[in-house]
């Protein structure tokens, strides 16, 4: 499992993020405060506070390609 933070600052960012995550078979969770949602759920993501960084938990050890696709959203 890998964990990192990302920032989705616009509606298009959310849409692009969900399209990327949906291509993969493994589970990805987003955590904001005490709320945890499925990263493949666009409605779930919009229920989070998108003005702050969101914690991402990828439930796979083989996710290098996935991480590369999300690079523009990841906070370094």
Residue spans per domain, the chain? 2-69
Q: Identify the pLDDT of residue 76.
A: 82
Cα separation of 76 and 63, whole Å?
17
Q: Which of 48, 51, 70, 50 is nearest to 2 (CA)?
A: 70
d(CA 65, CA 9): 23
CATH number assigned to the domain covering 2-69: 3.30.1340.10
Structure confidence by residue, pLDDT tens digits, 13-54: 999 999 999 999 999 999 999 999 999 999 999 999 999 999
């Amino acid at each position: 499992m890998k964990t990192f933070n990302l920032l989705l600052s616009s509606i298009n960012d959310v849409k692009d993020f969900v399209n990327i995550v949906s291509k993969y078979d493994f589970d990805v969770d987003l955590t904001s405060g005490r709320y945890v949602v499925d990263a493949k759920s666009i409605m779930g993501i919009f229920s989070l506070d998108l003005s702050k960084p969101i914690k991402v938990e990828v439930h796979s050890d083989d996710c290098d390609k996935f991480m590369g696709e999300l690079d523009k959203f990841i906070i370094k």
